[in-house]
Structures are given as structure tokens and as C-alpha cells.
Amino acid sequence: MNTHALSIPQPAGRKAWLGLLAILALVVLVAMDGSVLYLAMPRVTSALLPTADEALWILDIYGFVVGSLLIAFGNIGDRYGRLRLVMAGAVIFGLGSLGVAHSTTPAGMIGFRALMGLGGATLLPSGLAIVSALFPDPRQRAQAIGIFAATFAAGFAIGPVIGGLLLRRYDWGAVFLINVPVVLAFLLAAPVLLREVRATRHGRIDVPSLLLSFAGILLFIYSIKSAAASGFSLRQAIAGAAGLIALAAFVRRQARIAYPLLDLGLFKDRIFAIAILTGLVSLVVWSAAGYLSGIYLQSVLEHDVFTAALLALPGAAVLTATCVGTSRIVERIGRKAALVATHALIGLGVLALLFTTTESGAAAFVASTLIAGVGYGLSFSLVAEVAVSAVPEERAGAAGSIAETSNEIGNALGIALLGSLAALIFRLAGPGVAGTLNETLAHPDIAESVAQQAREAFLSGLHVAAGAGGLLILLVGLAAWIWLPRKLPG
């Protein structure tokens, strides 16, 4: 009896909660970085004049780098220490933020955004592992992980407001400079409040797999974006084919090596596969809707950046509240119903963007974010939990890494795929003055009739992208309803 009593984990003290706050500061930065940039892009395009292709790379290179390196850095953290990796990543993230803030060319900004992605790839999986180790008591650990997920959602809520305030008074680079003092504070607090965490078992990191996945994703998406922005070409076709070949080689290699970056065996479980697909597609829709809506509010409806931020706030607040209350929702309706509701709410919310016009659309936008915000809140909280619960305990770490990776890749794919679809519609229906709406409107001596045609062409692209994204998420929801068992494990 005494031995059993001694094995009961003791509740964590004040130092653990302070350590959680230190990690949460980095989580907020990663979340804010995405939402701030959606609002800042019109300012960025006016200042740096990127092409349509470069503008999309500025937005999504961060997500591609993070997604490509997430699992590999999880393995590196297991071997060399997660705290050490997070601190190194925070330094790189801070240096990348400084570089982005002072960029004077699109190419320079893309490069520094990639550097931020290199640092960001260390933060989420290793940060979550450190948080889990801080709280040995299962009840406290679940509470801390819930706070971790809610903080990530809250970052999107406060990001536009803080960004709007900064952009109202300062140049666009200020939205990245705010990362630097937070990183410095973390580097000072981490050695005092946090302890090193290593896994008891690990395999070697397969460098060829890492290179194949990274090159395959970048080449394939470059091909899609290039075709949307400039039309089909031999170089674009070669890049697309090379990307597909690299991805096929990556998948084949994962099935043959002893320590794969991607454990394909997990996808044999139907529940796991649907959960990962949910995380991927919901973030595809999320990022594309956020990016295109930010341009719509500022460049079509001509709201200033702070007004656009305020219009986005109700949906972000609903998302955060839903993320916190997901456990209660699941208790009432069950995991399967909650997962299916995720798709229905996101799909219906995004389809509400079809009611926007060039004259009015703020109400439709707010309604869209309120409806979809509930779905996103459910998704952020449910996907990793369902995925991990669907696999054996010894494979939970791999399942969690894949869930995180699906979110990051989905975030980048949304802008690349649906953003490119909107760019293609603009190129076909627009006045042909420039490749993007902001470039067209910035053209000297542009006639009002040409500007109006450009706005209508952008709105058409927004509608096509929203329609495609809404239907896609609804189809995944239908698959979840048909294929998942009535009661999910957990």
C-alpha cells in the first residue's frame, strides 16, 4: 500500500506554473505571427512591391519550413534535449524577426521568414513536451495542455488587435519587432523555471527523408503557385514533376527504414486518419480565408487596418472560448458528433463569405468568423486528442507529432493552394495591369473603372476559393460521419 501511495504523482507547485507561462509566451508569438501578417500584407505589398508569386511565398514559407522540420526536430529534441533545442530555436526566431522587420526586398523577407520557420519548428512540439513534464499529475497535465491549446487560439485573437494598433502608428516592421523582447525574456527565465527533457528511447534522424520531404513540398507548391501567378511553363512543369517524385520517394522510404520520420502504419487506423485529415483541411481553409479576407476588408471595402482587426476580433474570441470549453461540449454530445460538427461549422462559416460584395460585406465576414470560429475551436482541441487516443500508448508521441505537422502543413497549403486559386481567377478576370489587387490599385493614374474591375476580379477569386474550401471541409465531415464508429476511444 505504501509503495502504491508513493507512486502517486504530486501536484505541481508555483514554479511549474511559472514555467508554463514562459512557454506560453513563445506559443503566443507563433500564433500572433500568422494573424498579424494577414493584416499587414497590404502594407508589405505597398512597401516592397512583391509579385503575386512572391507575396504568397512571404505568407507561406514559414509554414512550409515549420511543417517540413517539425517531426525531425522532435527527434533532435529527444536526443539532445528539448529545452536546449527550444532555447536555440527562440534565438533563431528572434533573429529572423529582426531580419523580417528590416527587410527591403521581397527576397530578403522570404529568406528571413524561412529563418523564423526554422526557429518556430522547435517551439510547438518540444514546448508541449516540456509542459507535459512540468506536470506529473495527470489532472494538472490535462489542464496545462488545455491552456496551451487555448493560448495558441488566443494568439490569433489578440494578434490582429495588437497588429492593428501598431500598424496605426508605426511601419509594418513593428509587428515583427515585438517578438524580440518576448524572446529575450524567455531566454532569461527558461534556465531558472524549466528543466531539460529527453526521451528514454530514440532512433537516428534519417537525413535523406528530411531532404526528400522538404524538397518535395517546396517544389510541388512552387509549381502550383507559379502556374496560378504566371501561367503554365516548362520550368513550372519540371518543378511540379520533381516535387511529386520527391514526395513519392519520401513515402516509399518511410515504409522501408527502421526509424521513419512519418510512421505510415498509424494511418491504417481509420480514426487516426480522419483526425489528421480534419486537422489538415481545417487549417487549409483557415489560412486561406484569413489571408483573403484581410485583403478584402482593406483593399476592397477600404477599411483601415485597425477596423479590419476589430471586425476579426469577435470570431477570434469565439474560437478561443470554444477551445477552452471543448471538453464540456464533448461530454454532452460525444467525440464523434463534436468532430463532425467541426466540419459542418467551418464549412458553413466559410461559405458565408459568398455573400460579400464590393460595396458591403463586413456583416457577412463577421458572421462567417463567428460560425467557423466554433468549428476551429473544436478542431484545435480535438484533433491531437483524438489522434493520440486512437493509437497504442507507445506510439502516442509519433501520433502527436503527425497531428502538429498536419496543422502546420495545412496552414501553408491553404494560402498556397486556395490562395493560388484566387490569384488565378484574378489573373483571368482582372484588368491585366498587375498580378495582384494591391499592385493594380497602386498603379499610377489608374482609372476608377479599371480599379473597380480589379476589385470585382479579386472578389470572384475570394468566392471561388471560399466555395472550394467550404465544400472540401464538408466532404471530409461527411466521410467522418460515415466511416467513424459511433463511440470514439478516449
Same domain for 221 and 338, yes or no, is no
* Mean pLDDT over the full length of the chain: 84
Domain end: 142, 172, 195, which one?
A: 195
Q: Is the dihedral of CA 170, 30, 299, 349 positive or negative?
A: negative
| Whether residue 79 is found in the same domain as residue 218 | no
Residue 306, pLDDT above cutoff 80: no
1 lies in some domain:
no
Cβ density class 417-441: b for 16+ within 10 Å, e for less: bbbbbbbbbbbebbbebbbbbbbbb
40 with 140, same domain? yes
Name the amino acid, one letter, at 223. S
Q: Are residues 28 and 161 in the same domain?
A: yes
Is 4 domain-assigned?
no
Tell me: do 211 and 318 sit in the same domain.
no
Q: Same domain, yes or no, for 88 and 175?
A: yes
- 7 in a structural domain: no
Segment of 63-67, 70-74, 208-212 carrying the highest mean pLDDT: 208-212
Residues 306, 228 within the same domain: no
Asked if pLDDT for residue 4 goes beyond 60, the answer is no
Q: Could you tell me if 299 and 157 lie in one domain?
A: no
Whether residue 78 contacts residue 106, with contact meaning beta carbons closer than 8 Å, is answered with no
The reply to whether 3 falls in a domain is no
Instruction: Please check whether residues 163 and 230 belong to one and the same domain.
Output: no
pLDDT at 35 over 50: yes
CATH code of 56's domain = 1.20.1250.20
343 or 217: whose pLDDT is higher?
343
Q: Measuring CA to CA, how many Å separate 319 from each of 40, 151, 174, 244, 292?
A: 21, 11, 26, 35, 19
Helix/strand/coil (H/E/C) assignment for every residue in 277-293: HHHHHHHHHHHHHHHHH
Distances (CA, A) of 242 to 236, 248, 413, 420: 10, 10, 18, 20
For residues 29 and 178, membership in a common domain is answered with yes
What is the per-residue pLDDT for 393?
62
User: Domain count of the chain?
Assistant: 3
- Same domain as 384, residue 404: yes
Residue finishing a domain among 195, 221, 244? 195
What are the pLDDT digits (tens) for 168-189? Answer: 788 888 888 989 999 999 999 9
Most confident of 45-54, 367-376, 382-391: 367-376
Q: What single DSSP character describes residue 28?
A: H
pTM, to two decimals: 0.78
Which residue range is the domain that position 173 belongs to?
A: 14-195
User: How buried is 258 (Cβ within 10 angstroms: 0-12 exposed, 13-18 middle, 19+ buried)?
Assistant: exposed
pLDDT for 458 beyond 60: yes
Same domain, 314 and 342: yes
Which of residues 1 and 151 earns the better pLDDT score?
Answer: 151
pLDDT of res. 6? 44
pLDDT in tens, 236-248: 899 999 999 999 9
Q: Rounded CA gap, 166 and 169, in Å?
A: 5
